[in-house]
A and B are shown apart, each in its own frame.
Chain A
Amino acid sequence: MKRIGIDVGGTFTDVVLIDDGPGRIWFTKVATTPQDPARGALEGIRKIVSQAGADYAEIARIGHGTTIATNLIVEGKGARTALLTTKGFRDILEIRRVSRHDRADLYDLFFRNPAPLVPRRLRLEVDERIAFDGEVLQPLDPAQFQDLGAVLKEAGVEAVAICLLHAHVNPAHEQAVAAFLQKALPDVFVTSSSDVNPEMYEYERTSTTVINGMIGPKCKRYIATFEQEVGRLGIDGEVLFMQSNGGLAGAPLVMDRPVTLLESGPAGGVTAAVKLCRRIGVENAITGDMGGTTFDVSMIHAGRPQLRTSTVLQTVTVRTPTIDIESIGAGGGSIARIDEAGGVRIGPDSAGAVPGPVCYGRGGTDPTITDCNLILGYIDPDGFMDGELELDIAAARRAVDVHLARPLGVSIEEAARIVRSIGSSLMAQAIRLLTVERGFDPRDFAYIPFGGGGPVHAIEIADELDIDHVIVPNLPGLLSAFGMLIADQTYDLQQPVLANLDELTPARLQALMADLKRKADDALAAGGEGWSGAVARYSADCRYAGQAETLSVDIDPAADVTMDTIASGFAVEHQRHWNFTRKTAPVTLVNLRLQVTLPTVLNIPAQASGAGDEVKPFRHRAVVIGGERQEIACYRREALGAGTTIAGPGIIEERSSSLVFTKDWTASLDGEGNIHVKRNP
Chain B
Amino acid sequence: MLDRITYEVLRSALYATAREMKVAMMRTAASPIIHAGGDVSAAIFDAEMRLVAQGNDIPTMLGSAVISTRESVLAVGRDNLRPGDVIISNDVYLGGGNHQPDIQLTRPVFLDGEIIAFVMTRGHWTDIGGKSPGSFTPDTWDIFGEGVRIPPVFIYRNDEPVADIMSMIVHNTRNPDACTLDILAQYAGTFCGDRRLQQLARKYGAAALGETMAEALLYSERRMRAQIEAIPDGVYTGSDYIEPVGDAELIPIKVKITVEGDSICFDYTGTAPQVRGGVNCPLSVTCNSTWFAVKAITDLSIPINQGCYEPVKIIAPEGSLVNCVYPASVVSGNTETSPRIIDLLLRTLSSALPDRVIAQSNCAACCGIFSGDDPDLDRRKAMRRTYVSTIDVHAGGMGARPDKDGVSAIRVLVGNAGAQPVELIEHNSPLTIEEWTLVPDTGGAGRWRGGCAARRTYRVGFEQATCTVIAERGRVAPKGLFSGLAGATFNSSIERRNGETKTLRAKSEQEIIARGDRVRIQPAGGGGYGDPLERPAQDVWSDVLDGYVSAESAERDYGVIVSAGRLDPGATEALRHQLRAHRGG
Contacts and interface: CB of A to CB of B under 8 A. Distances in A.
B4 interface: yes
A98 B410 contact: yes
Interface stretch (B112-120, B265-273, B293-301): B293-301
A94 B29 CA distance: 27
Interface stretch (A7-15, A199-207, A474-482): A199-207
Contact of B548 (A120, A341, A426, A579): A120
Contact of A107 (B304, B408, B411): B304
Given A107-B295, A580-B188, A340 B438 contact: no
B235 to A, nearest CB: 23
Nearest to A203: B421
Contacts of B304: 107
Contacts of B394: 98
B36 interface: yes
B8 interface: yes
B417 interface: yes
Nearest to B409: A95
B222 interface: yes
Contacts of B4: 344, 408, 418
Given A99-B417, A106-B59, A546-B383, A202 B5 contact: no
Contact of B223 (A91, A341, A417, A546): A341
B13 interface: yes
B8 A425 contact: yes
Interface string A95-118: 111111000011111101100000
Interface centre among A106, A137, A547 (most CB of B within 10 A): A106
A549 B29 CA distance: 9
A626 to B, nearest CB: 10
B382 A578 contact: no
B419 A545 contact: no
A661 interface: no
A313 B352 CA distance: 38
B232 interface: no
Interface stretch (A216-224, A279-287, A430-438, A639-647): A430-438
B421 A200 contact: yes
Nearest to A498: B427
Contacts, number: 206
Given A165-B422, A548-B35, A579-B188, A106 B382 contact: no
Given A99-B418, A106-B59, A340 B226 contact: yes
Interface in B501-542: none
A371 to B, nearest CB: 18
A131 B379 CA distance: 14
A544 B5 contact: no
Interface string A182-205: 000000000000000000111110
Given A105-B300, A109-B357, A547-B35, A100 B421 contact: no
A108 B300 contact: yes
A110 B403 CA distance: 8
A94 B27 contact: no
A546 B29 CA distance: 8
B36 to A, nearest CB: 5
Interface residues of A, number: 69
B470 to A, nearest CB: 16
A165 B421 CA distance: 10
Given A95-B409, A578-B28, A166 B300 contact: no
Contacts of A92: 422, 436
Interface string B103-137: 00000000000000000000000000000000000
B469 interface: no
B407 interface: yes
Interface in B1-15: 4-5, 8-9, 12-13
Contact of A90 (B409, B418, B437): B437
Given A107-B59, A107-B304, A579-B188, A91 B12 contact: no
A322 to B, nearest CB: 18
A249 to B, nearest CB: 29
B12 to A, nearest CB: 6
A97 B423 contact: no
B241 interface: no
Contacts of B410: 98-100, 113
Given A88-B437, A545-B384, A109 B401 contact: yes
A508 interface: no
Contacts of B295: 107
Nearest to A119: B546
Interface stretch (B16-24, B473-481, B491-499): B16-24
Interface string B292-327: 100110011100100000000000000000000000
A341 B222 contact: yes
B393 interface: yes
B185 to A, nearest CB: 7
Given A98-B410, A578-B185, A341 B435 contact: no
Contacts of B547: 120-121
B181 interface: yes
B20 A437 contact: yes
A91 B421 contact: no
Contact of A421 (B9, B32, B177): B9
A94 B438 contact: yes
A558 interface: no
Contact of A202 (B16, B184, B393, B421): B421
B67 interface: no
B191 interface: yes
B404 A99 contact: no
Contacts of A425: 5, 8-9, 12-13
A546 B24 contact: no
B191 A579 contact: yes
A339 interface: yes
B32 A433 contact: no
A418 B3 CA distance: 10
Contact of B58 (A90, A96, A106, A340): A106
B416 A106 contact: yes
Interface string A27-43: 00000000000000000
A89 B455 CA distance: 11
Interface in A125-166: 131-132, 137, 165-166
A537 B56 CA distance: 38
Nearest to A103: B56
A94 B408 contact: yes
A549 B27 contact: yes
Interface string A548-589: 110000000000000000000000001001111010011000
Contacts of A548: 32, 35-36, 424
A422 interface: yes
Given A89-B437, A91-B437, A97-B418, A105 B358 contact: no
B427 A98 contact: no
B421 A131 contact: no
B341 interface: no
Contacts of A582: 180-181, 184
B443 interface: no
B463 interface: no
Contacts of B363: none
Given A120-B546, A426-B12, A429-B16, 19 more contacts: A88-B435, A91-B409, A94-B409, A95-B395, A96-B418, A97-B418, A98-B394, A106-B58, A121-B545, A131-B432, A132-B423, A421-B8, A422-B5, A433-B19, A437-B24, A545-B383, A546-B30, A547-B29, A585-B181
9 contacts: A98-B394, A99-B37, A100-B410, A105-B56, A119-B546, A200-B421, A201-B421, A422-B8, A432-B16
The 7 closest A-B pairs by CB, nearest first: A88-B435, A99-B418, A97-B418, A548-B35, A120-B546, A546-B30, A98-B419
Interface of B: 4-5, 8-9, 12-13, 16, 19-20, 23-24, 26-32, 35-38, 56-59, 177-178, 180-181, 184-185, 187-188, 191-192, 196, 219, 222-223, 226, 292, 295-296, 299-301, 304, 346, 356-358, 382-384, 393-395, 401, 403-404, 407-411, 416-419, 421-424, 426-427, 432-438, 454, 457, 545-548
